Structure 1
């Protein structure tokens, strides 16, 4: 089956899996070049709504495939023997039976599965990670279907794993509907999710997008703090048929290289997302009208919502960089890069475009570059000097 057939009706999962696959494609190779063991933990494995008999449209199969590819490439290129270890968790008994059947058929990686909730399984997960040894690097994927079952206090031991990186599916669409709920039980659930009740004051009185941004930012900030992560960013995954955010994928790392890899995956995924949304929306129109359309989905797709979101976050990212330049007057390119890429839909190519604009306007000069170097690079002591009075 093609991706279109595998993910028809769940295009948001296609985007999520694409980002996971593209990230792990580079992550596994980079980390495997320095660490002897790659440990992957999938906390809500499923499988759910898969159409492939080989589970090719499941997160656990996608992850294992990329880990294998990296291991085999490293073996061929440098004779490195990288070991693979996976922990797959699923609380639904029927889904877990399929998961275990898949795992039992794997002979070239150490895989453990558990039929339990995440809350019940934290000790087993951390023990599994530690049994990988001092030369093991873990990656934890937390992909729930709602906002419960992965409260900040619950996942804290997973966030504490160091070294380690974490990807969390923050179910923005579900959370948005209940942020202002007056019910004490709902608000207590959110307090446990965020790790504090401070989010309520930060989202109160804001518009829809501002409220979503504030919620995602607050959750990211708390998760970074709990886990001692240096960096965090997120990718927006839109609803296939509506101009709404379905969820945000929040990525946490202690290494800038991770941000680079994740943002590159995000950038590639956005084209996939708009193509998938165009097809999903055309199918909906055809079903409603009862007749085919003359032109293809891409030609008829209205990308205004995506473009407006990109303009929104580009403006926020540009403002962050500009404020730092105006206050510090001299800013390391690496620091400008971190600020620019902290927002979704903002990439290094955008930062370099802003730099060229500011240079042409006479407001900025770049110092520390080599004679033949045309643009600033990270890790090379390139500085941005702000000259505006």
Structure 2
């Protein structure tokens, strides 16, 4: 655990996802034909930054990632443009934000930075101008649950060539949606929709699952996304602190995010274990002889056990799909990843294991093929 994030392991996991996914997105879009990539940060801060240059803040992480991607893409002869739009309402934080990003605004090199002092909801018109003719990633990281009412930010969400990462402050929302104060309850209408309490109570699910299902439904409607995922980030105490919610229209984006999610949760599990070890040592005065390699191994074992269980659920799901098969694997893995916390490589293994069990044909091995897993064009069908 780095000292910058000590006691903020959840923030480190959030920044891990932002950094890794933005890196992947930048290279895929800029190498894939897009001349301009726009990055929108709706609640930029800085908040609780512990570094003089704010390198532990989302806006500076984004700048570093995007400048590096732009430089590497240029080596291939392309001339990509990067647009950053940072929004911060708090005047003192905005002053710090402006001072930190000013030196990185470099129009001559195709790197543009615009800042906005005010509410994210009031910056929609300017943001629409920024993201026009660009592929856009919008990152929303509020300190609570207000300031991004879906009806107001809908034009940004609906940008056809764009994706959204949103930090849903589950722990706060879970506590305050149980309030009896009418004003507090009404404050959730903008993200949970009208009559949300009745709709929430109608779910026959545990409260966290029901609340996330309700929020994801409203998020999906606001952006007309094809896929909406949510990644729970837990505290050291194993209680969910927040969910990173991701919306995309792209199967490739879906697969890329699942890869990042897996790496982030494995890394977060290791850091939570290390933090618990520090707490235990402080309480008992006894040192536990677990090094970095042991922590990594334990985190991997924990993730592997979770994935094995989820793959079994995915097998049942695929069995239910078989009556409507054959379908190419390209039509199987996106809905599987949408529903289950699996990577594309895991979806392939689900098919391989069902193939070995004789429940589906091993079409990827026909005609003398030595391939061990299916490709997108391989049919998934009954024997």
TM over 0.5: yes
- What does residue 268 of structure 1 align with? 263
The change in CA–CA distance for 1:376 and 1:314 in structure 2 (over 3 A counts) is: closer
Once the 2 structures are TM-superposed, how far is the Cα of residue 265 of structure 1 from its aligned partner? 0.8
Q: Would you say the 8 A contact 1:44–1:143 is kept in 2?
A: yes
CA deviations over 1:295-348 (Å, ceiling 9, x no partner) = 2266589879877765664454443333222x4242331232123212463223
Equivalent position of 2:249 in the other structure: 254
Deviation at 1:189, TM superposition (A): 2.4
| CA pair 310-360 structure 1, distance change in 2 beyond 3 A | closer
* Residues 66-88 of structure 1, C-alpha deviations (whole Å, 9 max, x = no match): 111221111102x1101111111
Is the CA contact 1:29–1:74 (under 8 Å) kept in the aligned structure 2? Answer: yes
CA distance in 1, matches of 2:289, 2:309: 30
Which of 19, 23, 26 is 1:25 aligned to? Answer: 23
1:149 aligns with 2:147: yes
TM-superposed deviation, 1:129: 2.4
> Where in structure 2 are there 5+ consecutive unaligned residues?
none
More deviation, 44-53/183-192: 183-192
SS at match of 2:228: strand
Q: Is 1:349 the counterpart of 2:345 in the alignment?
A: yes
Q: Distance in 2 between matches of 1:309 and 1:187?
A: 35
Alignment partner, residue 281 of structure 2: 286
Give the gaps of 5 or more residues in structure 1.
none
Seen in structure 2, the aligned counterparts of structure 1 residues 153 and 347 have a Cα distance that, compared at 3 Å, is same
Report the secondary structure of 1:13's partner residue.
helix
Quote how far apart the aligned CAs of 1:93 are. 1.5
1:324·1:331 contact (CA, 8 Å) conserved in 2? no
Matched, 1:319 2:319: no
In structure 2, how many angstroms separate the alpha carbons of the residues matched to 1:336 and 1:202? 30
- In structure 2, the partner of 1:106 is 104
- Residue 166 of structure 1 aligns to a residue whose secondary structure is strand
Tell me the alpha carbon deviations over residues 1-48 of structure 1, each in whole angstroms, 9 at most, x when there is no partner: xx6111111011111111111111111011112111111100011111
Task: Give the aligned partner of residue 161 of structure 1.
Answer: 159
Q: Is the 8 A contact 1:44 1:90 kept in 2?
A: yes
Q: CA deviation at 1:51?
A: 1.5
Report the alpha carbon displacement of residue 146 of structure 1 after superposing the two structures with TM.
Answer: 1.5
Matched, 1:332 2:328: yes
Shift of 1:376: 0.9
Partner SS state of residue 267, structure 1: helix
User: What's the CA shift string for 1:114-166, capped at 9, x where partnerless?
Assistant: 12111222222223323xxx3x2111001112112112212212111121111
| Counterpart position of 1:245 | 240
| Counterpart-to-counterpart distance in 1, 2:124 and 2:291 | 45
Q: 1:341 to 1:219 in 2, by over 3 A?
A: same
| Per-residue deviation, residues 244-282 of structure 1 (Å, max 9, x unmatched) | 111111111111111111111111112210111012212
Q: Name the CA shift for 1:216/1:369 in 2 (closer, same or farther; >3 Å).
A: farther
The question of whether the paired residues in 2 share the 8 Å contact of 1:199 and 1:215 is answered with no
Deviation string 1:196-238 (CA, Å, 9 cap, x unpaired) is 435743455756xx32223223322332232222222222211
Task: Name the CA shift for 1:344/1:323 in 2 (closer, same or farther; >3 Å).
Answer: closer
Deviation at 1:170, TM superposition (A): 1.3
After superposition, the CA RMSD in angstroms is 2.6
Measured after TM superposition, the shift of residue 96 of structure 1 is 1.1
Call closer, same or farther: CA 1:370–1:198 in 2, change over 3 Å.
farther
Task: Name which of structure 1's ranges 293-302 and 165-174 shifts more when overlaid on structure 2.
Answer: 293-302
Q: SS at the partner of 1:252? A: strand
Corresponding position of 2:230: 234
Contact 2:36–2:135 (8 Å) recurs in 1: yes
Mapped to 1, the partners of 2:210 and 2:335 lie a distance apart of: 17
CA distance in 1 between counterparts of 2:250 and 2:163 reads 9
Q: Is 1:58 aligned to residue 50 of structure 2?
A: no
Distance 1:76-1:218 versus aligned 2 partners, 3 A rule:
same
Matched, 1:71 2:70: yes
Aligned length: 373
Cα distance between partner residues in 2 of 1:35 and 1:220: 29
